[in-house]
Amino acid sequence: MKVIAFKRELQGTGASRRLRISGQTPGIVYGGVEAPIMVSLDHNALYHALKKEVFHSSILDLEIDGVTQQVLLRDFQVHAFKQLVLHADFQRVHADQAIQMKVALHFANAEVSPAVKLHAATISHVLNEVQVSCLPGKLPEFITVDLSSIDVGHSIHLADLVLPEGVTVIAHGKNQTVATALVPAGHVSAEAAAPAADAAAAAPAAKKGKK
């Protein structure tokens, strides 16, 4: 994604307030061997970009006064109750240096899993994102979690994830649970209900046979 920004010279609370009144959002670009640069961005464009998942987990082409550099969105602040982006932080990246980034998890195929098809279980998403390490060019937009084989009482853990080539999960030694399948309290699965239904149907026939 491409982002347009402009250098700004004035700093401080007053200068930032005037920027926001004029429809701009103050920001900063830092990292690498270059000095940090104070920038301003069009507020509406930034506000709508922040609604897109890809904006948070992709290498961005940030153009500042005609010069483009690759960056990551590292942080942003929004107003407590107004639809207003107060500030944005971007970090420069280099193609040959690994980065660490949070990447969203996309859950797929729950409807064909034994847990859902046979037991009407509820699959709980314990994690919605994971921290990964990779070169900038390998950064995935998201990681897919395949739920097609999950059954009741089973879980999917970080070690079970199928990761893109060159991407590793930073787990800090913990094989955290990603998703788990549980049958809601009081619910009878289809497999358990079938024998009970057969027994109920056979009961009247047995009574007739005794007469």
Average pLDDT of the chain is: 88
pLDDT band at 196 (very low <50, low <70, confident <90, very high): very low
Q: What is the DSSP letter of 20?
A: H
For 143-174, the pLDDT digits (tens) are: 999 999 999 989 999 999 999 999 999 988 78
The DSSP code sequence of 146-199 is E-TT--TT-EEEGGG--PPTT-EE--TT---EEEEEEPPTT---HHHHHHHHHH
Q: Name the more confident of 56 and 198.
A: 56
Look up residue 7 and give its two tokens.
């250098």
Q: Report the pLDDT value the prediction gives residue 208, as an integer from 0 to 100.
A: 57
Question: Whole-prediction pTM value?
Answer: 0.78
